[in-house]
Amino acid sequence: MSARYWSFLLSWSRVGINAALFLAATRVMTLSEIGLFATAFAPIRLTQSLHKAGISDAVIVLRKARRRDALFALSLGSGGLITALLAALGALFSPLLLALSIIPTFNGLGAVSEGILRKRLALRALALRTLAIQSFAAATAMWMFSTGWGVWALVAFALLNAGLTCALSLALARWRPMGVPKWRYVSLIWPKTAEIAGRALLTTSQLPLAQLAVGLALGPVAAGAFQIATRMLELIEALTLSPLRYIALPQLRSSNDLRGSLHTHIRRCATLSVWVWGGTLVAAPDILTLAVGASHAPAAVPVLRALAALGLLSALLMPLTQALMARGYTTLVLQRAAVSLALSAALIAPALALSVTAAALALSLAALVTGLWFTARALETLPPITASDLSPALAPLLAGISMCTALVLCPPLPLLSQGALGTAIYLTLLSFSRKPQRHPA
């Protein structure tokens, strides 16, 4: 099987199984229990990118093998420090956080080995490892749910996932530190490692920070509704956007006709994402009732609808983002993450005084403003690309608006009937807009 297949399987097994388990767990947990776990786990999600992405990326960038001992010391030391801090906070405020606090140490212990496996392009081993561990941990959690452990089943899932991932990474990489690293190596790699880890933290911290803010400001019930909506967001993206992302970057990087390739990916991504998120916006009550049950769906429906724009914008901007990365303009992509995070923090603070739905709308509004700024900057950065090259997204957007309007105006229908009718309307309108595309030389 191709590397792209294993890359997709790795991405889906990390996000998809996790989100699917959580949504299944909501059927046996109260909103308050969901919110308490989500708030306790938010600091873990916030910090794990330092190791899972940051340290692992540093192994690839810092090529000399003799620096790995120093990198391992930084990784394990930072993991232990985070564990100590979270354990202290957990002892004071949250037994769940106290139980989860060991996870950063597991992440720090296995991060260098994870990076070595990624450097070797051992995608098959990584994908099968993750799929096996996630499946085992999920099965254990479901058994614990069936025997009455409640929210502690999710704690067990997180601990098993982190601990077994660390152990198998160490076993598969077959690498061990040679001893205590020399200080000069630590001081040499520290600045670059901090930069890489900071980038990873910047690009992944928006939703964990928002979850933590909602939990602290609005309480566990609101945090539970927000967590259900964000997990649905992640699950939909894992099923729809991840495959397109993995295809887009290598094709855009190897293309001799950037404009033509970008047109193709914009059209493909817009066609799928507008259909998916338009349908989610309209059918959110039925989708959430099916996913989490009738008791929790009403609280999460307005939050998911408020976040639908965030999911759609993320998908629509993906081809342009991948084109920038393919041409080496990674700084602008990082700046987009920084601007989005800053705007989200500025807008969500007053929104928390209103409701959890207002907080979700603040994230979507921040994404919209950031997307407009990012698109303008990207068009300046990629000289062959102009605003007219974004036009392939127009027909799907217009068809999606028409589809959503028709579904809202028609009498209430079952979910499958809504899906069939919406798809028929959408594809019919798209078929009218198709015409041969000519790309200037």
Q: What is the pLDDT along the chain (441 residues), one digit of tens a residue?
A: 666 677 667 777 777 778 778 878 888 888 999 999 999 999 998 888 888 877 877 787 776 666 778 888 888 988 999 999 999 999 999 999 999 999 999 999 998 898 888 888 777 888 888 889 999 999 999 999 988 888 999 999 999 999 999 999 999 988 888 766 666 666 667 676 777 777 778 878 889 999 999 999 999 999 999 999 998 998 888 778 777 776 776 677 777 887 888 888 889 899 999 999 999 999 999 999 988 888 899 999 999 999 999 999 999 998 888 888 777 787 888 888 889 999 999 999 999 999 999 999 999 999 999 999 999 999 988 878 888 888 888 999 999 999 999 999 988 889 899 989 999 999 999 888 765 444 444
pLDDT in the model for residue 388: 87
Is the whole-model pTM more than 0.95? no
Phi-psi group of 219: left, alpha or beta (phi > 0 → left; psi -120 to 50 → alpha; rest → beta): left
Contacts of 132 (CB under 8 A, 6+ apart): none
pLDDT in the model for residue 117: 86
HSE toward the beta carbon, residue 288, CA cutoff 13 A:
28
366 and 347 Cβ atoms separated by less than 8 Å: yes
Instruction: State how far the alpha carbon of 350 is from the alpha carbons of 175, 278, 295, 418, in Å.
Output: 49, 28, 29, 36
pLDDT in the model for residue 208: 92
* Cα dihedral 292/296/300/304 (nearest 10): 10
HSE toward the beta carbon, residue 320, CA cutoff 13 A:
31
Contacts of 10 (CB under 8 A, 6+ apart): 123, 126, 127, 130
147 and 28 Cβ atoms separated by less than 8 Å: no
Maximal C-alpha separation, the chain? 72
Q: What span, in angstroms and rounded, lies between the C-alpha atoms of 268 and 254?
A: 18
pLDDT in the model for residue 441: 44
Residues in the chain: 441
